[in-house]
Amino acid sequence: MRAVALVRSGMHLGLGTGSTSRHAILELGRKVAAGELAGLTCVATSQASGVLARSLGLDVGPLTPQPFDLAIDGADEISPQLDLIKGLGGALVREKLVEVQARRLVIIADHTKLVSRLGEKAPLPIEVLSFGVDSSLERLRRLGAVGELRRAGGEFYVTDNGNLIFDARFGAADLLGLERTLKGTLGVVETGLFLGMAERAFVAAPDGVRELVRPE
């Protein structure tokens, strides 16, 4: 895996969440077990990724202010500018907390995640407090949000942080403005907009893997 090939011994790594990130964690574990990498320290963006990484012998610790040399994660949508929508796996808050501290954020995905504009295919996940959720959703709807609370197995989906996720769609084209507005909305914990964060993406397609680099 080309993203894992960027990892060097002694690095401080951010480990993403989801099916593609799982493959990266498995490859990291294989390289450590084979003696190809050593001295790695990691922070996982979800309980599931943390459990997997520890089971493979990776050193997983808590989030501290220490910058990450590299973070590897998936994405639900990737724009031509390498802006992202993330959070369909439910870990958007921890992903953003980790990845904002990364010197390099590398995305791994398949070609179906490429879009001409964010929101083209996927909804925008918004993590909201469970307390007073109906009031928070009313505030979001007044901003033009259309969507519903995520469910899993007939129940509301609950994040590792004990919150709920509202999968929303907006007509807004000004993503930076939308992000600022949503972050200033009472009851909103975080959004799945990851703007200007990814350095590059490795995208698997039927004809091979493409490497995309964020425009200067």
Question: Which range marks the domain in which residue 88 is found?
Answer: 4-112+195-203
Q: Which residues are catalytic?
A: 95
> 214 in a domain, yes or no?
no
> For 157-198, what is each residue's pLDDT tens digit?
999 999 999 999 998 679 999 999 999 999 999 999 999 999
**Whether 1 contacts 30, CB under 8 Å:** no
State the burial class of residue 56 (Cβ atoms within 10 Å of its Cβ: 0-12, 13-18, 19+).
middle
Q: Is this structure's pTM higher than 0.85? A: yes
Same domain as 133, residue 42: no
3-state SS track over 53-64: HHHCCCCECCCC
- Is residue 209 domain-resident? no
Backbone φ and ψ for 151, nearest 5 degrees, come out as -120, 155
Q: What is the pLDDT of residues 75-127, one digit of tens each?
A: 999 999 999 999 999 999 999 999 999 999 999 999 999 999 999 999 999 99
Q: What is the mean pLDDT of the chain?
A: 96
State how far the Cα of 55 lies from the Cα of 53, in Å rounded to an integer.
Answer: 5
Report the 3 state secondary structure along 123-175: CEEEEECCCCHHHHHHHHHHCCCEEEECEECCEECCCCCCCEEEEEECCCCCH
State whether 83 and 170 are in the same domain. no
Question: Within this chain, do residues 107 and 28 fall inside the same structural domain, yes or no?
Answer: yes
Task: List C-alpha distances in Å: 157 to 130, 147, 160, 166.
Answer: 11, 14, 10, 10
